[in-house]
Amino acid sequence: METEDKTKLICNQISRKGTLKMNIFKNTETAFEILKKKANQFPQVYQSLHSGSDINVKYESSQSHSFSLQFGGDILFFILHSNVFEFNRDHELMKTPYIREDKDRAYCGMISIYNFLSDSLYYNRYNDIGYLIGRVFINRENHCYIDGKRELSQIYNNFNTVVFDESMAALLLNSAIQYTINFDLLVPPYEMVKEISIQDMLEIKNKRMPIKTAKRLGFRFQADTEQ
């Protein structure tokens, strides 16, 4: 192939792939804004049903690509990734007719959902661990695929037909909250926490908490049927 022809081919590839990924990211960004809207409405919904409640239910968004929803002792963080991904060739979706007839449908933007303890932030416990409980994938046709734990994995997942809209955002948010409510903090094994250092003790005396806390500290964060 002549150098000029090869350069032209490369430029065409850059243009096509770049345009594809930009369109996918725009779809994912729009989906993220819909999720933001639903999460922002949730505290008002809660207060309308439990106006005298002392439970703290709060939405916060200081970054364009992230927001949080706190309810009681838990916080959910929603993060919009700035990149576009392709499912690997061994993924179950790659074997579906929907992807086989158009490989570009396998490229998706991604929204991740993490669960942390509210106290982890309140007490600045930087060693505490959060857990990825779900991911949302959006392709160029605005079709979505959701993988995650229990309630999130049970959301109707038919990539060739399911479009991300306001009803899907509400379903996703409710499922994430429901899973988190049922995902309780387990007592860590004695052997895991039987020792602390002098430095840890001094940190605690200075009202800092260096001791790691997590819902599954000392346990594997494994299959839902085993949790």
Q: Is residue 156 part of a domain?
A: yes
214 domain-assigned: no
> From residue 130, how far is each of 17, 24, 76, 121, 215 by CA, in Å?
34, 28, 9, 11, 8
- Give the pLDDT confidence of 137-155 residue by residue, as tens digits: 999 999 999 988 766 666 6
Cα 57 from Cα 42, distance rounded (Å): 8
Specify the pLDDT at position 64.
Answer: 87
pLDDT tens digits for range 163-203: 999 999 999 999 999 999 987 776 766 676 666 677 766 66
Tokens of 190: 């004695």
Q: Three-state SS for 169?
A: helix
In a domain, 52, yes or no: yes
Whole-angstrom Cα distance, residue 154 to residue 137?
15
Specify which residues 147 forms β-bridges with: 135
Q: Is the pLDDT of residue 219 over 80?
A: no
pLDDT band at 28 (very low <50, low <70, confident <90, very high): very high
Residue 225 lies in a domain: no
Q: What distance in Å separates the CA atoms of residue 153 and residue 44, rounded to the nearest whole number?
A: 27
Residue 125 banded pLDDT, cuts 50, 70, 90: confident
Q: Which two tokens stand for residue 16?
A: 């096509």
Which pLDDT score is estimated for 4?
Answer: 79
Structure tokens at 2: 């002549």
Asked if the structure places residue 200 within a domain, the reply is no
Residue 113: inside a domain: yes
Say if residue 48's pLDDT is above 80.
Answer: yes
Stretch among 29-43, 93-107, 201-215 having the lowest mean pLDDT: 201-215
The model's pLDDT over 56-110, given as tens digits with 9 standing for 90+, comes to: 999 999 888 999 999 999 999 999 999 999 999 999 899 999 999 999 999 999 9
If one counts the domains in the chain, the total is: 1
Name the residue range of residue 59's domain: 3-185
* pLDDT of res. 33: 97
- Least confident range from 13-17, 38-42, 129-133, 213-217: namely 213-217
| DSSP calls for 91-160 | SGGGGSHHHHT-GGGGEEEEEEEEEEEHHHHHTT-TT---EEEEEEEE-TT-BEEEEESHHHHTS---TT
Has residue 108 been placed in a domain? yes
Strands of the sheet containing 131-138, edge to edge, are: 57-63, 66-71, 74-86, 107-117, 131-138, 144-148
Half-sphere exposure of 37 (CA within 13 A, CB side): 12
Does a structural domain hold residue 224?
no
First to last CA, the chain: 58
pLDDT band at 223 (very low <50, low <70, confident <90, very high): very low
Dist. CA 105–CA 159, nearest whole Å: 10
